[in-house]
Amino acid sequence: MDAFSIHTLLLKTGILHLTYGHVIMWAIGFLFVYLGIKKNFEPLLLVPIGFGIFIVNLPLAPLAGKGDLIWIFYHYGLEWEVIPPLIFMGVGALTDFGPLIANPKTLLLGSAAQFGVYVTFFGAIALGFTVKEAASIGIIGGADGPTCIYLTAKLAPRLLGANAIAAYSYMAMVPLIQPPIMRLMTTKKERQIVMKQLRPVSKLEKILFPMIATLVICLLVPESAPLMAMLMLGNLFRECGVVQRLSHAAQNELLNILTIFLGIAVGTTMRAETFLNPQPIFIFILGLFAFSFSTVGGLLMAKFMNLFLKDKINPLIGSAGVSAVPMAARVSQVEGQRENPRNFLLMHAMGPNVAGVIGTATAAGMFLALLK
């Protein structure tokens, strides 16, 4: 056949290779971009993810094949597990662990809020997912995007796109999902509890915390070390006060650059041939279950702790144990003020909120230790 015939040239365009699946995926990509731009729904992620979905479903485009541009982002960023731990460094540089250090009991709320992770793990197995896939779906309940991506890339890479989208979607929907559960699980009297003011935390305590936390968690669950060590390194940059440039870079430039690569790499996992099946719908439903049960776990633990504590805690801060920093803590604050306008729960809720980040990274490490 003549290499320069019109037929041969047409075969080299994408047009003749288009399928319905590609067009459906374009529509999904456009929907994500629309939600990001118009509805301000996690735009930093949905815009690059949406565009990533769009371009990976362009037939014949040399973007996501082995050795192609976006494959390189995916391969070195996610498969080599570089991006999620580095994002954790940025998160650490942005996080103030002061409320957690002032009230370490809130670590119990952060661990109880992993309840949804394990309940959903069972649900996913019942729906026919493998044990490794179920673990990667369950971790959506931790409401921690980088951890979810890290675990999924290791245990069930083919679910990466759906899991990441579900995790970030539910994180954005915290103010919609949590309040009804919080009102259902607590009494009016409990919601009105005013908590004792947190003690001041010294600079030295804040500097020592990242080292102690790294030592304890990484010794007990070495598999969580890439996430925990980077989280705490970022926090050490922030608290030590002598490397402001590094702290600033981790919080801003590094985090922004990684978000671009992460978004595109996640988007490109959503190819028509792998994504268009009922499983992503199951994952979205299971993700909602995970998130709801994690909220319930945190609230119940707070109520349980109140049976023994002299200074009662407001159970509304328990729901903040699901990570989603700082949105979940803000929800606790808003719900608290609905019942008592003079109640300020934000700083109290930041304790379980950051404990939830540690808890989810530990849960991911436990899954890896047991299943890898």
Partner 1 sequence: MYNWDLAFKVFFYGFSGVFICLIILMFFVQISGMVFKNFRKKKS
- 218 vs 262, beta carbon nearer partner 1: 218
Among positions 54, 88, 115, 291, the unique one binding partner 1 when judged by CB under 8 A: 115
Among positions 177, 213, 233, 302, the unique one binding partner 1 when judged by CB under 8 A: 213
Q: Is residue 289 a contact point for partner 1 (CB under 8 A)?
A: no
Among positions 75, 105, 248, 338, the unique one binding partner 1 when judged by CB under 8 A: 105
Could you say which residues in the range 297-316 bind partner 1, by CB under 8 A? none
**Cis amide bond preceding 326, omega within 30:** yes
Min CB(281)–partner 1 separation in Å: 20
Handedness of CA 145, 146, 149, 152 (dihedral sign): negative
- 176 vs 212, beta carbon nearer partner 1: 212
CB 320 within 8 A of CB 100: no
Considering only the stretches 153-161, 203-211, 272-280, 328-336, report the one whose residues sit in contact with partner 1 under the rule CB under 8 A.
Answer: 203-211
Q: What is the CA radius of gyration of the chain?
A: 22
Min CB(304)–partner 1 separation in Å: 13
CB 180 within 8 A of CB 166: no
Min CB(121)–partner 1 separation in Å: 7
Min CB(160)–partner 1 separation in Å: 21
How far, in Å, CA of 241 to CA of 59, rounded?
Answer: 51
Q: Is residue 131 a contact point for partner 1 (CB under 8 A)?
A: yes
Q: Is residue 363 a contact point for partner 1 (CB under 8 A)?
A: yes
DSSP conformational letter for 337: H
Q: Is residue 209 a contact point for partner 1 (CB under 8 A)?
A: yes
Lookup: tokens for 84? 């999620």
Q: Is residue 290 a contact point for partner 1 (CB under 8 A)?
A: no
| Backbone dihedral region for residue 60 (phi beyond 0: left; psi -120 to 50: alpha; all else: beta) | left
- 18 vs 208, beta carbon nearer partner 1: 208
Tell me which H or E stretch contains 165: helix 160-172
The per-residue DSSP string of 26-92 comes to: HHHHHHHHHHHHHS-SSHHHHHHHHHHHHHHTSTT-TTSSTTSHHHHIIIIIIITT-HHHHHHHHHH
Closest C-alpha to 274, from 30, 13, 57, 32: 57
Q: Provide the binding-site residues for partner 1, judged by CB under 8 A.
A: 100-102, 104-105, 107-108, 110-112, 114-115, 118, 121-122, 125-126, 128, 131, 134-135, 202, 204-205, 208-209, 212-213, 216-217, 220-221, 355, 358-359, 362-363, 366-367, 369-371
